[in-house]
């Protein structure tokens, strides 16, 4: 939809990765490789996310990975993100958006296996719906997912996202993780 403008660009594993959006930010695409490259349409573009020059984060390694993340609403407390992962030089978009109701989504190799993991910071609001005042007042935790989207574990509960080590670029280790609480 409409002319694309470059919002952010990085090089990961020697491959250029460019985040493109239309003039109003209503659609989001990532071009991987030199032009014309492979273009991925991101589903988070339809979720009302605000993308900016900091929305593209990439990490090199055994599986070069990029996370495109954007905030929803004016408070910056709700974020969606989407992954692009290279395997054997072929990039793919798993397509499952990640949701963080405490505003933080990041990439870091938590499991120390040479592949980044996705860290989602969310409210631990058992018995309350996300986005409600009761949930927004609940403690937060970091939930870690591997590149296939499988949950690896959660941190203990914290008062605020800024209490997580390295915030806003959270740096967890496997020792920080335990079984995730059930909702």
**Coil, strand or helix at 4:** coil
Q: Which residue has the higher pLDDT, 130 or 33?
A: 33
**Predicted local confidence at residue 158, as pLDDT:** 95
Structure tokens at 57: 């984060």
DSSP letter string over 73-119?
Answer: SSSS-EEEEEEEEEETTEEE-----EEETTSEEEEE-TT-SSS-EEE
Entry pTM: 0.90
Of 12, 2, 28, 8, nearest in space to 116 by CA? 12
Find out whether the peptide bond into 139 is cis, omega within 30 degrees of 0: no
Is the four-CA dihedral 122, 128, 148, 179 of positive or negative sign? positive
pLDDT above 90: residue 28: no
């Amino acid at each position: 939809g409409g002319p694309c403008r470059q919002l952010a660009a990085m090089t990961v594993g020697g491959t250029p990765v460019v985040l493109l959006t239309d003039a109003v930010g209503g659609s989001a695409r990532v071009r991987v490789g030199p032009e014309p490259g492979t273009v991925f349409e991101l589903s988070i573009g339809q979720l009302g996310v605000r993308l900016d020059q900091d929305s593209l984060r990439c990490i090199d390694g055994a599986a070069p990975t990029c996370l495109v993340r954007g905030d929803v609403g004016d408070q910056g407390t709700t974020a969606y993100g989407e992954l692009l992962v290279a395997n054997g030089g072929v990039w793919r978009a798993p397509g499952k958006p990640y949701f963080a109701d405490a505003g933080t989504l990041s990439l870091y190799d938590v499991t120390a296996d040479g592949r980044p993991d996705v860290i989602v910071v969310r409210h631990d609001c058992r018995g309350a719906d996300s986005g409600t005042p009761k949930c927004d007042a609940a403690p937060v935790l970091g939930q870690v997912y591997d590149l296939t989207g499988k949950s690896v574990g959660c941190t203990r509960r914290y008062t605020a996202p800024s209490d997580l080590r390295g915030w806003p670029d959270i740096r967890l280790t496997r020792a920080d993780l335990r079984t995730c609480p059930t909702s």
